[in-house]
Amino acid sequence: MKGILKIYHPEETLKYNIKSSYCKAVYANEQHFLEVEIITDDSLDHIEDDSLHYRFPQLSFSVSNFPIAKEELLDQKFSVEDTEDDIYTDVNLYDDEDAYLYENELSFTTNEKDELTLIWNGKIDDFYTHTDLLIPFKLKCSFREEEMEIEE
């Protein structure tokens, strides 16, 4: 699996590599739902000590229980907005800080290896410098099925 999350903070562009991901259309109670979880790598090898990224080495973004019309994700585009009654998105900062995701657009295509690919554009609260700005982000991740080796 390959992927990158870029957060376009006014002071610097923060780049997170993807460590693990999960994506599935779930069928429950006669309805399909989108489930996505993206977890970034916590490596700081490529980060300067004075970077905003240094305080938040790892993030995870997720969408859960978002209703979709059909199971097939390929060539689909979803606009995911939370409301007071329905919360579909979550971001975990692995810290005591809170942040929320806004204006989420998720597009599913395939890459050159015919793997399902997600491009997720949106905005996130400025948890780095605590301004009132919403910071744009772009996440690109390719999914491939894991092959389990079973020894006899």
How does pLDDT run along the chain (152 residues), one tens digit per residue? 578 999 999 988 989 999 999 899 898 888 999 999 999 988 766 676 667 777 788 999 999 999 999 888 999 999 999 999 999 999 999 988 889 999 999 999 998 889 899 999 999 999 988 999 999 999 999 987 766 677 77
| Per-residue pLDDT at 44 | 67
How far apart are alpha carbons 22 and 16 in whole angstroms? 17
Question: DSSP characters for 4-69?
Answer: EEEEE-SS-EEEEEEEEEEEEEEEETTEEEEEEEEEE----TTS-TTSGGGG----EEEEEEEEES
| Three-state secondary structure call for residue 137 | strand
How far apart are alpha carbons 142 and 3 in whole angstroms? 6
Residues 6+ apart with CB under 8 A from 108: 73, 74, 75, 76, 77, 116, 117, 118
Q: Where are the domains of the chain?
A: 3-143
pTM: 0.88
* Torsion angle of the four alpha carbons 90, 95, 99, 101, in this order, in degrees rounded to the nearest 10: -30
